[in-house]
Amino acid sequence: MADGTGVLILGDATGGELGSTTLELLAAGQKIASELGEQLSVALLGDTLDVPAQQAISHGAQKVYAVNHPLLAKFQIDFHLSALEALSKEVGPRIILVARTNEGRDLAPRLAFRLGVGLAQDCLEVSVDSSSKTLMANRPVYGGNAIAVVTCDQTPQIAAIRPKAYEPAEEDSSRTGEVVSFPVELNESLALTQVVDTVIEEAEGIKLEDARIVISGGRGLGGPEPFAHLEELAKIMGGTVGASRAAVDSGWVPSSYQVGLTGKTITPDLYIMVAISGASQHMAGCSGSKVIVAINKDAEANIFKEARYGVVGDWETVLPALTTALKELT
């Protein structure tokens, strides 16, 4: 296969605006494109692309491929795959970056397999080896217990980047770039799956992924009722409540609360962990937090190796005292 040139980002324009993960990809992409001395472009799929295309340029894209089609208005994997396969073959990028979002999780592997190339999955950091122009991808494996550095053996080299691994790219409205429209042919019969219903079970209040303060509870809470204490504290602090998988699996809170490798990735300013042991799979979703506070009765719990502040004690005593004191302070 030919070598390819440039870095192509698969952007998200579904909300009529550029998604936040695309801004993160632009930050990662700028870095590697400049290390390579090659062009940074963004592929946008949808039916209203003018606004996101300009946003991509002001955030550092030199070129935008606008793939406009009514069937791309919402994410449907088969339509998106078909469009991206055509685009990728035409453009011939050296590197493709995808965000490992809910959609990217399905899209990136299928695209890599369709193109017959490898995918560096769920990366925290990407760089290039400038002599060989090889993409070096760092990715957590074994539930975050280890980091693997992997490279792709064929071109395009594809990496899926974990959300929040990069700070979003800075905006500079004086930047200029080119918007090229890329026509695709799609028809309804391509769709192999149909969404027949969507059920939203989201907790009220601030979204877990967006909250600046998160308070999570684990198995050590012993049941669903103690989560009310966490909710109370969250309310006082202007935060939101999360949970470990053990708490979710016990049925105490819905799965949308789960933080971790197979739950949500959060990067709050303050993360308070109550009766959570700090298993690597939980930490995989919260190690980007600025400050971690742990309340756990076991002084040997792993979480005391990861937290900035800790209290060794029973949450039933520690938490009410913390809550009362915080009420007085705020």
Binding site for ligand FAD (CB under 6 A): 143, 218-220, 244-247, 258-263, 275-277, 279, 281-282, 285, 296-298, 301, 314-316
The single residue listed with the structure tokens 């295309």 is 53
CA separation, residue 328 to residues 237, 323, 325 (Å)? 11, 9, 5
153 contact, one of other proteins, ligand FAD, none, CB 5-8 Å limit per kind: other proteins
68 contact, one of ligand FAD, other proteins, none, CB 5-8 Å limit per kind: none
The single residue listed with the structure tokens 């801004």 is 23
Among 81, 95, 58, residue whose Cα is nearest residue 67: 81
CA separation, residue 112 to residues 4, 88, 95, 123, 148 (Å)? 15, 11, 12, 15, 19
Q: State the first-to-last Cα distance of the chain, in angstroms, to the nearest integer.
A: 62
Closest to ligand FAD by CB, 16 vs 223, is: 223
> By CB under 8 A, is residue 288 in contact with other proteins?
no
Q: Do 10 and 104 meet the contact criterion of CB atoms below 8 Å apart?
A: yes
Tell me which residue has its CB nearest to ligand FAD: 260
Closest to other proteins by CB, 60 vs 285, is: 285
Among 317, 267, 275, residue whose Cα is nearest residue 294: 275
Closest to other proteins by CB, 183 vs 251, is: 251
Please give the Cα distance from 35 to 58 (Å, whole number).
20
> By CB under 8 A, is residue 2 in contact with other proteins?
no
**Structure tokens given for 205:** 């209040």
Closest to other proteins by CB, 51 vs 146, is: 146
Closest to other proteins by CB, 63 vs 264, is: 264
Please, is 239 exposed, middle or buried when counting C-beta atoms within 10 Å of its C-beta (0-12, 13-18, 19+)?
buried
> By CB under 8 A, is residue 221 in contact with other proteins?
no
Q: Do 315 and 220 meet the contact criterion of CB atoms below 8 Å apart?
A: yes
Report in angstroms how near the CB of residue 234 gets to ligand FAD at its nearest: 17
Three-class SS state of 213: strand
Stretch in the footprint of other proteins (CB under 8 A) among 10-18, 40-48, 220-228, 279-287 = 279-287
| Site map (CB under 8 A) of other proteins, residues 64-103, x = contact | -------------xx-----------------------x-
180 contact, one of other proteins, ligand FAD, none, CB 5-8 Å limit per kind: none
Residue of the chain from 74, 113, 181, 228 that contacts other proteins (CB under 8 A): 113
Residue of the chain from 5, 39, 68, 281 that contacts other proteins (CB under 8 A): 281
> By CB under 8 A, is residue 127 in contact with other proteins?
no
74 contact, one of ligand FAD, other proteins, none, CB 5-8 Å limit per kind: none
Three-class SS state of 46: strand
Stretch in the footprint of other proteins (CB under 8 A) among 25-33, 152-160, 182-190, 215-223 = 152-160
> By CB under 8 A, is residue 1 in contact with other proteins?
no
Report in angstroms how near the CB of residue 100 gets to ligand FAD at its nearest: 14
| Site map (CB under 8 A) of other proteins, residues 24-63, x = contact | ----------------------------------------
> By CB under 8 A, is residue 214 in contact with other proteins?
no
Helix (H) or strand (E) holding 315: helix 315-329
Contacts of 265 (CB under 8 A, 6+ apart): 162, 163, 164, 209, 259, 284, 285, 286, 288
Q: Total residues contacting other proteins (rule CB under 8 A)?
A: 88
CA 110 to chain centre: 18
